[in-house]
Structure formats: C-alpha cells, structure tokens
Amino acid sequence: MRERLQLILKFLFLVILIAVIVFVWKSLPIISGYAAKVACSGVFVAGRPQEKVLKEDLGWWPMSMASCTVDMQDSSVTASVLGLARRKAIYRWRLGATLVAGVTEESLREQHVTRPAAPAVDADTIDWPMGDRMPRAGGVPARYGARAAGAGAEVSPATGKTVAMRLGEGNTRRAEIDTAKMQAAIRMAFGEGDAGSTGTRAVVVVYRGQLVAERYADGFDRHTRLLGWSMTKGIVNALVGILVAQGKLNTGAPAPVAGWKDDLRRQITVADLMHMNSGLWWWEFYGGPSDATEMLFGETNMGGYAERSSLRHPPGQTFNYSSGTANILSSIIRRAEGDEYYYRMPYEQLFEKTGMYSAVLEPDAGGTFVGSSYCYATARDWARFGLLYLHDGVSNGQRILPEDWVKWTTTGGSYGALWWLNRDRRHPHIPEDCYACEGHEGQYIWVVPGSDLVVVRMALEHGRRLDPDRFLPEVIAALK
C-alpha cells in the first residue's frame, strides 16, 4: 500500500512538473512579445526615453525577465527571455508598432497600406476642444504648456517637483469648481496623502465642455500619447456607428463572417459581438497563456483567430468579456470598408473630426487594427473622445455618430455596446448614469451626463489600484 501511494505521488509530481514546464514554455514568447511590442510603442509612438520605458513599463515581474534591444535606426525593438523566445516589433510611420508574428519582417515592412496623412494643424492655435488654446479671464485665449509652472501649478509632496495642475483657466470656470476639493481629488488620483501609490500618469477633467483640471506624472505631459488598452473598444464602437450611418453595417443583422455560415454561429449578430454576449468560447486572462494573450502576442490575424472560437452558449444570452470579439468587429469593419480606405477611415471620419490629432491605431501583422487594445492618444484626446459621447455623437457642430447611437450604446445593466455601464450600480457611489471606457492597468474615460462631466485617468497600476468609487465622487463634489 505504501509503495502504491509513493508511486501515485511520484506520478502526480511528474504531471505537475510537466504542466509547469509547458506553462513556462508557452509563457516565454508571450513575455518577450509583450516586452517587444510595449517597448516599441513606448519609444516610437509615445516618444518616451527608452531607459524610462524599459524601467517603468517593463520593470515588473515577469516582464523584467525580458531583455530588450532598441534599434533607433531600424525603428524596432527585439526582446528575449534568457536568450530564448526571441520576438521583434517594428515601428512604421502613421501605423505605430506591430509585433512580427506569423510573417517575415520583410513582408510586414512591404505591406501595401494607404496610410493616413498627418493632419496639417497647429492645435495651439485652435480653441478647445478642437484644439489646445484655452480661454483666460476676459475672454482672451492663451496657449499653455501642460508642464509649465504658473497659476494652478503646485509642488508635489511626494517628489518635491513642480507638477502641472491646471484648475479653471478663466474666472468663470474657477467660480464653477471648488479648487481645494478638486486639488484634493487629483492628489488622491496620484497617490498622495493617505491614498497610497496608484501609478497614475495623467488626469484630465472636462466640465461643461471646458478643461477645468489637468495633471501629469513626472515624464509625461499633454503631448504624450498614452495606451488606452481596452478603451480602444470604445473606438471600435464609434467606427461601427459611422458605418451604420453610412448603411454599410446593420447591428441587428448576422455578423458577416464567412466561416460561420454553415453552423449555429451564423445566428450571432453584430450587436451580440458589441454587447459581449456572442456565446463564443473565450478565456480573457492576462496572467499567462490564454485566448487573449495568445491572440495579442502570437497571432498574425487576431480577428481571424477569434473567429475560429467555438460556440459555448446560445447567441445573445450570456455575457462573457472578450477582446476576441472586439477584433472580430475590427475585421468586419475592414471588410465593410475595403482596404483602400480602411487605414484612413478612423482618422478622417473620427479622429480629425473630433480634434483627436494625436491618436494612433496600431494594426496586427495581418494589417487589421487591433480594436481590442492598441490605440495611443494623449489624455486630452481621450477626453475629446468622451466629449463626443457626452454630446450624443456630435463634435464641433457636426454629427459623427448616428442619432440615438449613444443611447443604444449605453442601454443595459453593467455593460452596453463596448462601454461599461453603472445602471446596476456596480460602483454604488458613482452616479447611475455614468458610463465608461475602461482599459487594462487602470485606464478610464468616465462620462457623467448628469454632471456634464468627462474625466480621464491614465495609469500603469501594477496592482496599485485607484478606486473609482472614491475618486470620481470626490471630483463630482468639487463641481459647484
């Protein structure tokens, strides 16, 4: 009996050992792929110093296991773990960074892409919100740099450095907010006082259409593009809305995916994909190998990978958060628009019409925008995106989204159409009408219609979480 028990224990140990080896082996290319992609975007899209990107964005375990080489001449980053699982990401102008996956680097660089032209505008000469020129008392517009010391700037008790905290550039706006309360709320967001460290990089508060408060962490400013992660899903919502207005997509129609025609997946509608209740099998896990990490760091065609998912539940009935469905929608958008205009469409139909001139959507190695995760934009531009929804899809007097699109998007309990909701009070201290784009590592765009408010918070939390139920009510309490 004892020998039999020992044999069983040895077998179990062997099974566990094999499982650990397989897990680690499958994790290595994910770690190196993440490192190469994040570093490439951080250096070449966000324009941050490579030593800061490597230390701050990749200096945590297990990403600290990756060794990265940044090639400024080649506009690329190569990463490996102990010399294994070598991965490379390349930067292409107006396309951002793309991880080389399933194709050669040469073929990726030679892809035929009709790239959007760089907007010929000087945002400092255009009034907010389409530009960055802010009004001052007496109605005289003025430019300002977000990190310049002056009225509203203060010294951080954590670092002793002057930080940019802009609070109401004109007398009218100052009268509409309680400056002391707003400063306290933003200090909370940056982990000062008794709030604890949060990893916040930027906060922008827009009240009644005006930028009334803004602050950045050391090394970041109003020009720094910041990764939205899953806030990019909100961008996909807007692009689908634009195509619906043009008659190119119908949310109530079956999703136009050729591989689903001969099985029950043909019943999945575009709306099902947008509400994350398609019924498709998907495991959204970021701590190791999963559907999500395999897709983001191992696949050439991310939407095609997700389209191969089997059906687990009847369509339209069961919520299952899935980055895969966002990339299926990206593929559908590409097919509906056609490649000749596809790469210009988000810029000409959305970003330029809303003043989001910094925004960069990054494609996968197959050339489809990664709608689940990869949009970079400044904190102000993320706020402009929130304003588009606060104003019912209208920007600068021009309707961008169909009438009632925002109402349809924000109908539901905890999740609408690629936006998080608060109808079921998942955040009990935040207004019920609040809805949000939320992204990995603490990215948020909160839209609060009842307060005429948009709040953006960008971060790299690494577990240092900012509680929305504490922060957002403090911001609202500062509004008179």
3-state SS track over 459-476: ECCCCCCCCHHHHHHHHH
Confidence of residue 11 (pLDDT cuts 50, 70, 90): confident
What integer best gives the mean pLDDT of the chain? 91
Q: What burial class does residue 262 get, using C-beta atoms within 10 Å of its C-beta: 0-12 exposed, 13-18 middle, 19+ buried?
A: exposed
CATH no., domain 119-271+344-480 = 3.40.710.10
Over residues 396-446, the pLDDT tens digits come to: 999 999 999 999 999 999 999 999 999 999 999 999 999 999 999 999 999
What's the mean pLDDT in 125-136? Answer: 92
Over residues 207-235, the pLDDT tens digits come to: 999 999 999 999 999 999 999 999 999 99
Q: What burial class does residue 176 get, using C-beta atoms within 10 Å of its C-beta: 0-12 exposed, 13-18 middle, 19+ buried?
A: middle
Task: List, by residue range, all CATH 3.40.710.10 domains of the chain.
Answer: 119-271+344-480
pLDDT score at 7: 78
Q: What burial class does residue 138 get, using C-beta atoms within 10 Å of its C-beta: 0-12 exposed, 13-18 middle, 19+ buried?
A: exposed
Over residues 432-458, the pLDDT tens digits come to: 999 999 999 999 999 999 999 999 999
Note the Cα 241 to chain centre separation in Å.
18
Over residues 39-58, the pLDDT tens digits come to: 999 999 999 999 999 999 99
pLDDT score at 206: 98
pTM equals 0.92
What's the mean pLDDT in 89-98? Answer: 97
What's the mean pLDDT in 305-314? Answer: 98
Task: Give buried/exposed letters for 44-75 (b at 16+ CB in 10 A, else e).
Answer: bbbebebebbbebbbeeebbebbbbebeeeeb
Phi-psi region of 250 (alpha: psi -120 to 50; beta: other; left: phi over 0): beta
Q: Position of tokens 């509608």?
A: 269
pLDDT score at 138: 42
